[in-house]
Amino acid sequence: MDMKQPFEKVVAQHGPTVLRVCRALLRVHDADDAWSETFLSAMRAYPDLPETANVEAWLVTIARRKAIDIHRAAKRYPLTLHALPEAPTDLGVPGGGGADLWDAVQDLSDKQRRAITYRYLAGMSHAEIAEILGGSVAAARRAAADGLRNLRKNYPGAHAKGASS
């Protein structure tokens, strides 16, 4: 009999990926909020999730919605915008080595940032990305490629071949 994993397994397995997605879409503090709300919502809906569902894609979709909610809330209360740090932060990727890259990702256009995030953090196909971005598969592919090229331009360190994940 096919059966559903304990939710704890879902958190352990996908928690880091969801946090990376949240961090690419939001500032670090907001990313924590988005992560928490994503898993709270997911836990609520989990019993009704079809057993054949792609859990990671499901979580990424929830995380994206939460990130959008947080962006919208920030627009409604523009004061919070003043609180956003302009200076580079040592929060983010441990070791600090990736912090500049996070800034570079934040500087991408909205569409490119999302395409990069879904492609390289969530491992989604261009077709899946197109479904979320709304648009053609070719456009999604282009956004990811353009985003990557801009990243390489703005973040020369991205050329360094690190240990593959």
Partner 1 sequence: MSDIRPDDSDLSPLSAPIAPETLARLHARLERDADAAGLVDVAYTTIDSPVGRLLLAATRKGLVRVAYANEDHDRVLETLAQKISPRVLHAPGRLDAAVREIDEYFGRRRRAFDLPLDLSLSHGFRQIVQTHLPEIAYGQTRTYREVAELVGNPRAVRAVGTACATNPLPVVVPCHRVLRTDGTLGGYIGGLDAKTTLLNLEAAA
Q: Site residues (CB under 8 A) for partner 1?
A: 3-9, 11, 15-16, 19-20, 24, 32, 35-36, 39-40, 43-44, 46-47, 54, 56-57, 93-95, 97-98, 101, 105, 116, 119-121, 123-125, 148, 151-152, 157-159, 161-165
Contact by Cβ (8 Å): 21, 64: yes
- Residue with smaller CB distance to partner 1, 66 or 98: 98
Could you give the CA distance from residue 128 to residue 136 in angstroms, rounded to a whole number?
10
The CB-of-44 to partner 1 minimum distance in angstroms stands at 6
The CB-of-15 to partner 1 minimum distance in angstroms stands at 6
Radius of gyration of the chain (CA): 16
- Residue with smaller CB distance to partner 1, 82 or 159: 159
Dihedral sign from CA coordinates of 156, 157, 160, 162: negative
Could you give the CA distance from residue 97 to residue 75 in angstroms, rounded to a whole number?
31
- Residue with smaller CB distance to partner 1, 62 or 124: 124
Contact by Cβ (8 Å): 24, 67: no
The CB-of-144 to partner 1 minimum distance in angstroms stands at 10
Could you give the CA distance from residue 84 to residue 101 in angstroms, rounded to a whole number?
18
The CB-of-121 to partner 1 minimum distance in angstroms stands at 6
